[in-house]
A = this chain, B = another copy of it.
Amino acid sequence: MNQESNRKVILKSRPDGYPELSNFGLVEEPIPQPKEGEVLIKAIWLSLDPYMRGRMRDVQSYAPPVQLGGVIVGGVVGRVVEARTPAFAVGDLVVGPLGWQEYATSDGRNLLPVDPALGPLSTAVGILGMPGMTAYFGLLDVGRPNPGDTVVVSAASGAVGQVVGQIARIMGCRVIGIAGTQEKIDYIVKELGFDVGINYKTDDVRAALASACPLGIDVYFDNVGGDITDAVMENLADFSRLVICGQISQYNLAEPALGPRNVRLLTTHQARMEGFLVFQFTARHDEGRRRIAGWIREGKLKYKEDVVDGIENAPAAFIGMMRGENFGKLLVKVSQE
């Protein structure tokens, strides 16, 4: 690898259905030069997250799409290697949306400092970063679990799901996790202390939920949508809360899917279904980070990372995540710490 170049992954074409390697391009170009007032950052950890699939579509959503030929969006932990502003010094550790590339410049407005005392650097885009904040605020502020509640989380071994389930346990809830391999089920039950694991590829999810949740589901943290969410809807407790975080089962469909019209079940159960974005809690991320870091120190909260080496391997890793092949928080190690 030529250290004098910047390698970046661009969107070559928009995926139609599941993304393929041909949708991505690896480009090598000179390392960008920071302008006056800017810094140059060398990426260490790149986070791969399901939301990126949405940005590959040519539709305006809560954020603009990635342009064809543009670098794919993504959260990065990196180190300042050149500073043309007094706001940063060479060597500073920062986190920001710098994209799938080895080097990036920034005027600093989209950067936050990383405190290495809180945990390993990778956690700044993991359990102490966006996925962790998503789990913390989505579960506690949107789902509002009470002690004794039955909480179900889908994609339960993923970056968000594993944290949701463990925080729910800390809050005194019974926790049922849904995942797609026996290895993942073993992990969430034996390692993370979930009460029940359901393998959606081999179990009858409806029947398994009915059996695991005889009093109904009080809180559902939805990372997947589709038929699993329908099965949850058929097993709701009264006054239940459905936290709509992600709908990964729908992201890679070439055509929008149809599903049963089951909205009436919200009335039957006086239930609430609520979507959220982690940004709405930005002002309180410090609170989330401190509490999660505290639980990790106390041994109450574990996390699993799935690490891939080298920016050139990001596309294949991302495609695998879309198919549930990752196991834990998916990260690309872009360079040595």
A244 touches B258 (CB 8 A): no
State which size class the interface on A falls in. Answer: 20 to 34
From B250, B261, B270, B274, A272 is in contact (CB under 8 Å) with B274
Given A229-B263, A250-B261, A259-B259, A275 contacting B268 (CB threshold 8 A): yes
Q: What is the minimal beta-carbon distance from A134 to any residue of chain B, in angstroms?
A: 11
| Contact residues in B for A275 (Cβ distance below 8 Å) | 263-272
Chain B residue contacts of A250, Cβ below 8 A: 261, 264
Chain A positions 254 through 297: 1 when the CB is less than 8 Å from some CB of chain B, otherwise 0 = 00111111011111111111111100100000000000000000
Interface residues of A in 208-262 (CB under 8 A from B): 222, 225-226, 229, 244-247, 250, 256-261
Q: A244–B263 contact, CB under 8 A?
A: yes
Say whether A247 contacts B274, CB under 8 Å: no
The answer to whether A267 touches B280, judged by C-beta atoms less than 8 angstroms apart, is no
For the complex, give the distance between the alpha carbons of A111 and B243 in Å: 39
A259 proximity list for chain B (CB < 8 A): 258-261
Inside 8 A of A264's CB, which chain B residues have their CB?
Answer: 225, 244, 247, 250, 275
Q: How far is the CA of A257 from the CA of B258 in the complex (A)?
A: 10
Q: Which residues of B have CB within 8 Å of A229?
A: 263
Residue of B nearest to A63 (CB): B268
Flag if A244 contacts B256 (CB, 8 Å): no
Could you tell me which residues of chain A, from 56 to 114, have a CB within 8 Å of some CB in chain B? 61-62
When distances are taken between beta carbons in the complex, the residues of chain B under 8 Å from A246 are: 267
Given contacts A250-B261, A258-B261, A263-B229, contact A276 B270 (CB under 8 A): yes
Q: Which residues of A contact B (CB under 8 A)?
A: 61-62, 222, 225-226, 229, 244-247, 250, 256-261, 263-277, 280
